[in-house]
Amino acid sequence: MTFLLFNAGVPMIFPSLHLMVLALLPIIILEALYLYVSLNISFSDALKNMGIGNVVSTFIGIPITWLLLVIMTYLTGGGSIYQINTPLKKLAVVVVQSAWLAPYGRNLRWMIPAAGLVLLIPFFFVSWFFEYWVVSYLLENIELIASNQAVRNANLLSYALLGGYLLIRLLKESHQLSKAISNKSLKTRRKKRLKNAPLRNNQSVS
């Protein structure tokens, strides 16, 4: 599924939540396995805690965080369309507008996974907070420091996998866009040569 809204830009909550929901069940299982091993608790308890924690963080924590980021972006003047003719400007725009990308045409194809990578940073801390809160509440017999470290490391593992997927998408979309631009440039040069060919022939005859 793509979220290319060329005239309105891209509210990144949609592609972000789309990815999070698709990966929700594997992430819950992965993080539950980590808690099961690191905290020496039953797998059913670990699955219950990570299930509740991930659902709360995905459908409450992440949307609230995204909304705050959007408000911050527009309050600081980050909602405009900027020139992205250098790598540094491209990086700056993706970071500043990571919550809601302005309409940059076909550049949105690579900007969406790039912004997704940026958003993983605040989303990681939100997930860590909510899941730790659930674990510390439901597993009262576990030391807070141990549960905090376990939840943090479990999230580091799952977010590393999400980041790897987005990085692959970013590289793929960037390569395809670069290839399309090169092909268009080549076709334009060929058309110019074909257009100028009769002129050269007439000049030669004259």
In a domain, 16, yes or no: yes
Q: Look up the pTM and report it.
A: 0.83
Within-domain flag for 19: yes
Average pLDDT, stretch 49-55?
96
For residue 5, name the pLDDT band (cuts at 50, 70, 90). very low
Residue 47 belongs to a domain = yes
The reported pLDDT for the residue numbered 192 is 65
**pLDDT bucket at 128, cuts 50 / 70 / 90:** very high
pLDDT tens-digit map of 6-51: 456 899 999 999 999 999 999 999 999 999 999 999 999 999 999 9
pLDDT score at 1 = 39
Residue 130 lies in a domain: yes
Say how far apart CA 189 and CA 9 lie, in whole Å: 32
The structural domain count of the chain equals 1
pLDDT band at 203 (very low <50, low <70, confident <90, very high): low
In a domain, 1, yes or no: no
Query: Residue 156: pLDDT above 50?
Result: yes
- Residue 49 domain-assigned? yes
User: Two tokens at 186?
Assistant: 């080549």
Does 5 map to a domain? Answer: no
pLDDT tens for each residue of 82-121: 888 888 998 999 999 999 999 888 889 999 999 999 999 9
What is the extent of the structural domain holding 168? Answer: 10-205
Q: How far apart are CA 20 and CA 124, in angstroms?
A: 12
Instruction: List all residues 6 or more positions away from 191 whose beta carbon is below 8 Å from its beta carbon.
Output: none
Q: Is residue 60 part of a domain?
A: yes
How many whole angstroms separate alpha carbon 5 and alpha carbon 11? 9
